[in-house]
Amino acid sequence: MMRKFIYATALSVAITPLKAQRLTESPSRLPVGKIHQAQVFDLTRLRSVNPQLNKAPEFRWLNYGLQLDQFFSPNAAEAWFMHNFPDSTVILGVTSTGEVVYPWIHKTATILDPKNMPDPWITPSTSYTLDSLGIVYAYLRSLPPSVVDSVIVEIIKHDNNLVYTGIGGSYTWQDIEYEFATNRVKPYQVIKRIAVPLTQNDSTSFASEIFIPVTGVPVQPGSNRIGAVVSYKPGFSYTITDSLDNLNQFYQMSLEQNGASTDPNYYGTPGDANSDLNCSFILPVSVRYNYNPNGWNGYFIPTWAFATGYRYEHHLIEFGLTADLASVKTSDPLVELFNALPVPADEDLTLNIQMHKAASAHVKIYDLAGKLLLQQNLGHLQAGFNSVPVPVSALPTGVYNLTLHTPAGTSSRKIVVKH
C-alpha cells in the first residue's frame, strides 16, 4: 500500500526512493482561478539536484531540464504550472483577454536518455533500473472527500523505430505513438502502468511532488532510453456545460529553461543523432480530437517543436535510477543482463536477471577469501526479465562475491551488505 505524506520542505527529512510520498514546497502557491502562471520555485529543493537525498554513486534522480538549468544557464529557468486536463470536451480556461478556450493538454510525457545527459553518469555499457518516479504537481479540489481521482503513469520503452529528426534536421527525439480514438498510448510501447489515487489529503495549492515506487520494470542496458506518460483520470463525471473550476483540477509543473519567452538549449551537437533525445512532450487538442489530419495526429509533440519561446519545454518528471556500475555483460550465453540491488543491501538482495532463454539457476555467495557462505536455488527462470529475492540478513556487514550459475555458465559480481 502506498503511504502518503506532505512535508513543509524537501530538506527537513531523509526520503527513501521506494516509498510513495507527497512533498510540498511552501514558496510556490498556485493562484486559484488562474492557469499557466509563472511561479517562484526553488529548484535546488528537488531531489535530482539535492545531493543530500541521493545515494552516491549507484542512485540518482534525473531530470533533463534541471540538469540544463545547472550547466547552460544556471538558475535562469522559470517554473510554470499547467493543467493536465482530463479527457473531455469541457470548455475551460480563459485567454489574457478573458476569452473562453478549449482544453488542450491532455497528457504529458518525457523520454529520458540517461547516457546522454550534461552530467555524465550512466554510459552505454552501464545497465540501470528505474525504481522511482517523481512528479511536481498542484491539485485543487471543489468536490466532496468521497471523490477519488487518479494520476495514471505509463512507463514507455526504448524504440529506435520511433526516433525522428525534425526542425530542419537539427534535433532528434523518440516519438510516442497515440490512438486518439481511444485516448491511449499504443500498448506495445508500455512496459508498466501505475495508478496513484488522489484524495482530499493530497489537495495542495503549493508546488508539491508525488513520489511513486516502480517495481517490475526490466533492467535496461545503458544504451536504452526510458520514458513516462502522465494522465489525470477524474473520479467524477461531467458534461460540456461543466467547468473544472467547480470540480477538481490537476496541474503539473514545467520549466521554461532560459526564462520567459525564450528558446531552450540542448545538450549535444545539432544534427547529431543523439543531440537531444531527452524530450518533454505534450498532447494538444489537435491530436486528441484529430482536428488536423495532415498534422501531428497519432504522436505526442516535443514541447520545443514550436518556433517561438514555449513555457512547457521540460516537464518536472523525475526518474529515480539505480545504476549497475560494474560490467553489464556476462560470460553466460543464457544471461544478458544481471544486477543485484539495493547497494548496500540489508535484509534482502533483489537479483534482476535478463534471460535469453528459460533455464534453471542458483546463486552462491562467497566472502573475499573464497569461503562459501550462502547458496540458494532460484528455480526455473523464464525467458526475459526475472526479479528474485535472496535473503542476506544472516551475512555480516561487508563486501562479498555473488555467482549466478546456469547450465550454460556462470556470472559473478560483488555485492555490499550493511546492517
Confidence of residue 241 (pLDDT cuts 50, 70, 90): low
Model confidence at 350: pLDDT above 50: yes
How many residues belong to the chain? 419
Please give the residue that has the higher pLDDT: either 121 or 400. 400
- What pLDDT, on the 0 to 100 scale, is given for residue 390? 92
**For position 307, what pLDDT does the model report?**
59
> Residue 95 — φ and ψ, nearest 5°?
-80, 180
Q: Please check whether residue 211 is in contact with residue 316, taking contact to mean a CB–CB distance below 8 angstroms.
A: no
Tens-digit pLDDT profile for residues 135-172 = 988 899 999 999 999 999 999 999 999 998 776 667 78
Topology of domain 327-417 in CATH is Immunoglobulin-like (2.60.40)
Mean pLDDT lowest among 10-19, 134-143, 186-195:
10-19
How high is the mean pLDDT of the chain? 78
Band (414; pLDDT cuts 50, 70, 90): confident
C-alpha cell at 353: 536477471
Q: According to the model, what pLDDT value does residue 282 have?
A: 92
Distance between CA 240 and CA 88 in Å, rounded? 8
pLDDT at 61: 86
**Residues near 291 by beta carbon (within 8 Å), at least 6 away in sequence:** 285
Please check whether residue 309 is in contact with residue 262, taking contact to mean a CB–CB distance below 8 angstroms: yes
Q: How far apart, in whole angstroms, are the C-alpha atoms of residue 257 and residue 116?
A: 18
Q: Give the whole-angstrom CA distance, residue 169 versus residue 67.
A: 24
Q: What is the pTM of this model?
A: 0.72
Percent share of the chain, pLDDT over 90: 27
Q: Which range in 30-34, 232-236, 334-338, 346-350 is most confidently predicted, on average pLDDT?
A: 232-236
Short-list 153, 136, 151, 139, CA closest to 253 = 136
Q: What share of the chain is helix, strand, coil (3-state, %, to 5)?
A: 10, 45, 50
Q: What would the DSSP string read from start to end of 289-337?
A: TT--TTTTTTB-EETT-SSS--S-SEE-EEEEEEEE-S----S-TTEEE
Mean pLDDT of 292-320: 82
3-state secondary structure of 409: strand
> Coil, strand, or helix at residue 261?
coil
- Lowest mean pLDDT: which of 10-14, 16-20, 230-234, 380-384? 10-14
- Region 338-358 average pLDDT: 80
DSSP string, 331-359: S-TTEEEEEEESSSBSSEEEEEEEESS-E
pLDDT band at 103 (very low <50, low <70, confident <90, very high): confident
End-to-end CA distance of the chain: 25
pLDDT at 101: 62
Q: Amino acid identity, residue 334?
A: L
DSSP secondary structure, 44-98, as one string: GGSGGG-GGGS-TTTEEEE-HHHHHHHHTSTT--EEEEEE-PPSS-----B-TT-
pLDDT at 34: 32
Per-residue confidence (pLDDT) for residue 297, from 0 to 100: 83
- What's the DSSP call for residue 188? G
Helix (H) or strand (E) holding 406: strand 398-406
Overall average pLDDT of the 393-399 stretch:
89
- Say yes or no to pLDDT of 355 above 60: yes
**CA–CA dist 126, 279 (Å, integer):** 21
**Distance from C-alpha of 251 to C-alpha of 145, rounded to nearest angstrom:** 19
Q: Which residue has the higher pLDDT, 119 or 393?
A: 393
| Highest-confidence segment of 98-107, 253-262, 270-279, 327-336 | 253-262
Rg, the chain, Cα only: 23
State what percent of residues in the chain have pLDDT above 70.
76
Question: Which DSSP category does 382 fall into?
Answer: P
| Structure letter (DSSP) for residue 267 | S
pLDDT at 271: 58
Mind listing the pLDDT tens digit for each residue in 23-69?
433 334 444 333 333 344 566 667 666 655 555 557 788 999 988 88
Domain coordinates of the chain in residue numbers?
A: 21-323, 327-417
Do 288 and 74 form a contact (C-beta atoms < 8 A)?
no
- Mean per-residue pLDDT for 357-372? 92
Is the pLDDT assigned to residue 348 strictly greater than 60? yes
